[in-house]
Structures are given as C-alpha cells and as structure tokens.
Amino acid sequence: MRSNEHIEAAIAELRAAVARAFPTATFEVRTGDDPEGVYLLPIVDIEDTDVVFDVVADRLLELQIDERLPVYVFPIRTPERIRADLEARRGGWRRRSHMTLLATEDE
C-alpha cells in the first residue's frame, strides 16, 4: 500500500474533479473497512448520483489498479434531496391508495 501522502493526494485530486463538475458539492472523507480504505463522500443535490461517479470513474480505477491505492468514491444525495424524494413518494402512495379506494367503492 502506498503512503498516506499518496492517498491524500489522490483524494484531493478526486475531490477537485467532482467540485469542478458540481460546484455546490460538499465532501466528507472517512476511513472504511468494507473494503478497507479511504472513502471520499461527495454530497450533491442531484437525483442520480451515478453522474457524479462518472466524473471520476476512469481516474479512480487507475488509482486503485495501477497505483494500488485504497481510495473509493461514494456519492450521496443531500438530506434535503432525500427528504423531498421521500415526501414525493409518500404523496404518490397516498394518491394511489385513495384512487384504489374510490375504484373499489364504485364497483
């Protein structure tokens, strides 16, 4: 495994790439054990976090395979985005339940 300096440089590089693409992103860095390594957690206000991963995927593979660095990127949505999505889903479930109830009463 490479030194902490190499890992820190890799995290900084990945973070900068995400920040260029998503200027409002915030970040957390943690150590993890499944798999063991350093985790960069970009927190973004978007629906599909796959687009964040797409920004760093090629370089991340180079760091992991060629440079043997245990660095990982796990984008997550903002709490506000998660809350809004949950509220929208709950509203949708209520409407469907209500419509089903109405349909049952009409039969």
Q: What's the confidence (pLDDT) of residue 2?
A: 60
Residue type, 39: Y
Q: What is the DSSP letter of 15?
A: H
Distances (CA, A) of 46 to 7, 30, 73: 27, 22, 16
Give residue 92's pLDDT. 57
C-alpha distances (whole Å) from 6 to each of 38, 79, 93 are 12, 31, 49
Q: pTM of the full predicted structure?
A: 0.77
pLDDT digits (tens, 9 = 90+) for 38-65: 999 999 999 899 999 999 999 999 999 9
For residue 49, the model assigns a pLDDT of 92
Task: Please calculate the CA angle 41-61-35 and round it to the nearest 5 degrees.
Answer: 55
CB contact at 8 A, 38 and 11: yes
Distance of CA 24 to the CA centre of its chain: 14
Question: What domains sit in the chain, N to C, each tagged with a CATH number?
Answer: 4-77 (3.30.300)
φ/ψ of residue 44, rounded to 5: -130, 150
Q: What is the pLDDT of residue 7?
A: 96
Task: Give the residue ranges of the chain where pLDDT is below 70.
Answer: 1-2, 92-107
